[in-house]
Every structure is written in structure tokens, then in C-alpha cells.
Amino acid sequence: MTPAPETRAGVLPSQALREMIAAGALAGAPEITPEQVQPASLDLRLGTVAYRVRASFLTGQSNTVADRLPEFEMHRIELGAEGAVLEKGCVYLVPLMERLALPEGISAVANAKSSTGRLDLLTRLVIDGGAEFDRIPAGYTGPLYAEICPRSFSVKVRPGMRLNQMRLRQGDAVLSDADLTEMHAESPLVTGGAPVIADGLGFSVDLRPKDGTLVGYRAKPHTGVIDLDRLGHYPIAEFWEDVRSENARIILDPGAFYILVSREAVTIPPDTAAEMAPYLAMVGEFRVHYAGFFDPGFGHAAAGGAGARGVLEVRCHEAPFVLEHGQIVGRLIYERMLAEPDVLYGREIASNYQGQGLKLSKHFQPS
């Protein structure tokens, strides 16, 4: 891959990812497939074995995952063609099929895919010498691992499944609040109210729907296994309780997991990408779950969208908490692309969530 000029910063688009694959900077066994390349990220595939571990861990500098794994391993599970069940409340470490040989100046960040997060399936990237999850320093060479902790539902997985994704960037690509204000003035980034721009684009929760009292879903505590290969298969009522509100507020229960939706519809222009981040910790006893990346074209008119609302994966902490309509719950951090991707979310890339409202993962039957 021909590196971009040193003065430029940005997220690598799909065509640059393909160049890195061709150059061997992104490699896989078996080889990386075209379907893994997204507009601004690369899907990562589970390998053939999962290690049940006593606890989540980071390797720390100068250590490899292989060095530390014997300290925590409880048993090994062969995934195989028939799949294997990862049980709710347990922690697993799965070697991925991909490995990296990043050039100097190119770093990476990982996140769970949308459907993974909507199942409350905590999935984080682990690397050799890592001091934090989901962050890969520039120039890293080595294997990749997924730490998986099912928190609401037990799931069946198979080799090759794609639960998380990785975004590569050169330099600091984050757009400033001034940049966002200027962009919004030229073409609105958000509809449904004046933009809240402070360390990113803030968004709030919708607890006053126009079509009734249903405002979200709450995961049931005792359910069956979800086979991640089965799409549109599971009845919603077997896994979720309806969350309804007559007064535009709900009370979140400690430890419970909710699917809600943003009040605003957001747009990601083709020359930008975004990532959902939690709002300030002092706003309440909850956090928006580890939501994923928002690709270039999400909610954008040129890619078949007219704004799309963000699905919120919410977990309450120690105390019951009153969540009210319009309360700010998260923010989008926008980043500049090095170039506009040659494929856009919702246009060339098929999308389950373009133009979405309140929506569960693609594994459930339509409501």
C-alpha cells in the first residue's frame, strides 16, 4: 500500500484496506474474503477453538497471550462445524483467523458489530503486549484474539463467524467541535432538534414514540440458546420483555439490559466515519453499551437513508435510575476519512439497519 502523505490523518477506506490485504499487512488463514471489507472497517473471524478462562485479562507489556493463557485457562472447546455453546456469564478467549503486520504510523481500534452488541454479547479485542482492550498501536505485528462474554443470552458460535470489526487510521482523525458545527450548518448531521455539540455530537433517548407506548425491550433473565447463524428465527417474546411508558420515562433496574433508541436521526457523510461513545459518567447510574462503528453513508441520503436513529444498548449499574425522554445518553465521535470509500453503507454494502428505528438484532423475527 502506498502510504498517504505524512501530513494527512484519517480512517482508511475500503479500497485502502484491500491494498493492505494485498501487501500482507492484513492477513488471514484462510485468506481474508471480500465480504469482510466494510466501508471503513474489516470484519474479524473467529478461529476454531475457544478457551474458557477464569477471568478477563490483559497481557501487559512484553507478554504474549500465549504466555499468559495457562494462568487463566480452565478448559478448551473445539468450535467445529456443528458449533459450540458459549454460556451466559462465562468468559472465553478465541484466537482469530486474522493477524497484523501494521506499517509504522497506522494504528487500529476494534469494536463489536451491531448485531453482537444488540445481543449484549461483550466482545473485545486482545493483542500481545496489550495494555488496553480494542486498541492496537501503530506498527503492531502479531496475532489477534477475541475475548467474548455473553451477558444476557448463551450463544452458539462457529469458526468464521464475525462478531467484531477493526478500523485502521493514520494519525489523529477526530473532527473538532468546530468542524462538526460547520458540517452541520452545511448539511444537517442530526434531525429532531438542535445539535448538542460538545466533545462530539450528543444524542438523547426517545421515550415518547409516535405510534404507541412501546419504547424499548428488556432482556429476559432465563432464556434458551441463540444460534448466531439463525437469522429472523427467534420469537421476540421468548427472549425480550416489552418496555412501555405512558409518561415519557422509565426506571432502569440494576443489572438489566435494555434496547432503546435515540430521539434524533443521525447522518454520517461519506467522507467521515463515527464511533459511539458513552456520555459523562456523572449523568446517571447507567451506560450506553459498547456500541459499534457507524460507517460512512449511515443515514445519508446518497446511500438510501434519510437520517437513521441510533439503537442504544443500555445497562444499568448499582442503583435504579429514572431515564427520561430527551435525556442525553451518548455521543458520536466523528473522524475524517483518508478518502471516500468506494463502497458505502446501505448502498453497495447491504444493510440490516439503514433507516432504522427501534430494532432488535437480525436474529429475531420481525415484530
Of residues 235, 45, 71, 79, the one with CA closest to residue 155: 79
- The three-state secondary structure class of 191 is strand
Q: What is the pLDDT of residue 310?
A: 84
Q: Which three cell numbers stand for residue 37?
A: 471489507
pTM: 0.91
DSSP annotation string for 213-251: SEEEEEE-SS---EETT--S-B-GGGTEEEEE-SSSEEE
Q: Given CATH 2.60.120.10, say whether it is the number of domain 177-336.
A: no
* Angstrom distances, CA of residue 356 to CA of 212, 290, 305, 312: 17, 19, 9, 12
**How far apart are alpha carbons 309 and 263 in whole angstroms?**
7
What are the sequence ranges of the domains in the chain? Answer: 10-170, 177-336
CB-CB neighbours of 31 under 10 Å: 9
Of residues 8, 342, 9, the one with CA closest to residue 169: 9
Residue with cell 506498527: 139
CB-CB neighbours of 203 under 10 Å: 28
Q: What is the pLDDT of residue 114?
A: 87
Same fold, 10-170 and 177-336: yes
Q: What is the pLDDT of residue 1?
A: 43
Q: Which three cell numbers stand for residue 97?
A: 483467523
How, if at all, do strands 226-227 and 155-157 pair?
A: parallel
In single-letter form, the type of residue at position 334 comes to Y
Q: What is the pLDDT of residue 194?
A: 80
Q: What angle do CA 34, 37, 41 make, to 5 degrees?
A: 170
Q: What is the pLDDT of residue 41?
A: 95
What CATH homologous superfamily does 10-170 map to? Deoxyuridine triphosphatase (dUTPase) (2.70.40.10)
Encode the chain (367 residues) as per-residue pLDDT tens digits: 444 445 589 999 999 999 999 999 999 999 999 999 999 999 999 999 999 999 999 999 889 999 999 999 999 999 998 999 999 999 999 999 999 999 999 999 999 998 899 999 999 999 999 999 999 999 999 999 999 999 999 999 999 999 999 999 999 999 999 999 999 999 889 887 788 999 899 888 999 877 778 999 999 999 999 999 999 999 999 999 999 998 999 999 998 999 999 898 888 999 999 998 866 554 555 666 555 788 898 876 554 455 678 888 898 888 898 999 999 888 899 999 999 999 876 544 555 544 457 889 999 998 7
Classify burial at 301, counting beta carbons within 10 Å of its beta carbon; exposed 0-12, middle 13-18, buried 19 or more: exposed
Q: What is the pLDDT of residue 63?
A: 94
What sign does the CA torsion over 198, 199, 201, 202 have? negative
